[in-house]
Amino acid sequence: MADKAKTKKGGNFEELLNNYFSNVPAVGDIVKGKILSIDNGAVRIDVNGVTTGVVRGKELFSESDVYANLKVGNEIEAVVVELENESGEVELSFRIAGYEQVWTKMKGLVDSGLAVPAKILQANKGGLMVQVDALVSFLPVSQLSPENYPRVPGGDKERILEHLKALIGKTLQVKVIDVDQKDEKLIVSEKAIWEDDQKAVLESYKVGDMVDGEVSALTSFGAFIKFGEGLEGLVHISEIVWQRIEHPRDVLKVGQKVKAQIIDLNKSKIYLSIKRLVQDPWKAVKDLYKVGDIVKGEVHKVEPFGLMVKLDDEIHGLAHISELSDKTIHDSRELESMFEVGKEYDFEIVNIEPAEHRLGLRAAGLKKKKKEETTEEVKEEVKVEAETEEVVETPVVEKKRTKEKTIKVVEELKEGVVEEKVEVPTEETES
């Protein structure tokens, strides 16, 4: 009986011993415990009821606000940095634990999509460095909301940087969109918050609706229009007016009140048209102009391929470079010496295509090219093309012959016909 009790007692002691050692943490473990005392610049914690841990010095300073305003009795997490110090206590760290907690929090924010405040610290040409919780993260230019996005003509990087620097010190609401703890990279977006807001408001709009708005910005590719409750849409340059323009500022200015039609809603992106609210003037073009008519037209622009000619405020035509002189014109510099932008000249209408918004012109009085001349030009072009093909064909044939030789050598090697060492050309050497 005594032996059995001893065995049982010994078994219980062994079990307790095993439990004790199984509860003793290892270096790097995150442990939980209650704060026993806070004094003399040190925080002592009861670790699993088996040992006492201490947090002191730089290890008290944490990246997480969880460790602010600690009190005795609080349950807290810390990371083991040393199993036994000079006093026989486990050395713990809030700093490392806080670092882990803040990254865990950031990963959770990616999944939840919750907005967090971000204070702008620095700016560079690619975006902004911002403080999110205890981490410095990156807010790319492309992830700024329209309100803060630098709409700089020509994409001048220095002017973009000036715009971004003006935002330093401000606090924005952002979403965490990418987390890479290993490389300590954190990417946030203000645009994502703006898109969420737009989605809610956009539910009251549909394609085809007409809106009253104000021109908020002009770029080379179009105009931005503000309307409704903080909404903004893009009018592409091709949707501003029916005639061809070089830049939206030719017909619009910032602050101008306009009416526009919603032509597409793509998630949070809104596309508008101004010209669709106006009758297409090209539908009546054949009532105003006829092929063969001699008309006065103002040279609007000189292009390498010809002249853009303004017949009236709405109808513009093209006089191709081949229709402007009996002699061959080689480039736009010659055209500029012959025709002055802003001045009127006489032109003959040679074709009208209303559906394509095209009207072809020829300099008035210019002789039509004879059919024979055109045929000779085509023959000459064919001759040049044939000569070019002949020149190009030579290396192709050589390459083919080289390949055939290679195949023959390889076959002879396989059959044992060639006994000496032969260098077989590769694809790289052939080319």
pLDDT tens, position by position, 170-211: 999 999 999 998 888 999 999 999 888 877 778 888 999 999
pTM of the predicted protein model: 0.48
Give the pLDDT mean for 160-177.
94
Give the pLDDT mean for 367-382.
48
Confidence of residue 389 (pLDDT cuts 50, 70, 90): very low
With a cut of 70, say whether residue 23 has pLDDT above it.
Answer: no
Instruction: Check: CB of residue 54 under 8 Å from CB of residue 44.
Output: yes
Pairing mode of beta strands 90-93, 51-56: parallel
pLDDT of residue 63: 59
Taking the CA atoms of 93, 95, 98 and 104 in sequence, report the sign of the dihedral they define: negative
pLDDT of residue 367: 72
- Enter the DSSP assignment of 356: G
pLDDT tens, position by position, 124-143: 989 999 988 878 899 999 99
Q: Which domains does the chain have, with CATH numbers?
A: 22-100 (2.40.50.140), 113-195 (2.40.50.140), 209-277 (2.40.50.140), 281-363 (2.40.50.140)
d(CA 234, CA 274): 10
Give the pLDDT mean for 316-323.
91
Mean pLDDT, the chain, rounded, equals: 79
Say which residue, 299 or 417, is predicted with more confidence. 299
Give the pLDDT mean for 293-306.
91
Q: Please return the burial class of 395, using the count of CB atoms within 10 Å of its CB with bins 0-12, 13-18 and 19+.
A: exposed
Question: CA separation (Å) from 98 to 35, 63, 68, 227, 326?
Answer: 16, 5, 11, 45, 82
Residue 106 tokens read as 């950031």
d(CA 329, CA 367): 15
Give the pLDDT mean for 379-394.
39
Residue with tokens 């390498």: 304
With a cut of 70, say whether residue 256 has pLDDT above it.
Answer: yes
Confidence of residue 422 (pLDDT cuts 50, 70, 90): very low
pLDDT of residue 226: 92
With a cut of 50, say whether residue 381 has pLDDT above it.
Answer: no
For residue 271, what are the contacts with CB-CB under 8 A and spacing of at least 6? 233, 234, 235, 236, 239, 262, 263, 264, 265
- What is the residue-wise DSSP string for 260-327? EEEEEEETTEEEEESGGGS--GGGGHHHH--TT-EEEEEEEEEETTEEEEESSSS-EEEEEGGGS-SS
Say which residue, 401 or 216, is predicted with more confidence. 216
| Main-chain phi, psi angles of 27, to 5 degrees | -60, 130
Say which residue, 267 or 7, is predicted with more confidence. 267
Say which residue, 27 or 98, is predicted with more confidence. 27
Give the pLDDT mean for 390-412.
44
Give the pLDDT mean for 144-165.
86
Say which residue, 221 or 61, is predicted with more confidence. 221
Q: Please return the burial class of 173, using the count of CB atoms within 10 Å of its CB with bins 0-12, 13-18 and 19+.
A: middle
Confidence of residue 62 (pLDDT cuts 50, 70, 90): low
Lowest mean pLDDT across 144-153, 235-244, 283-292: 144-153
Question: CA separation (Å) from 50 to 22, 91, 93, 208, 294?
Answer: 10, 14, 18, 72, 104
Region of 398 please: left (phi>0), alpha (psi -120 to 50) or beta: alpha
Say which residue, 88 or 173, is predicted with more confidence. 173
Pairing mode of beta strands 358-363, 316-320: parallel
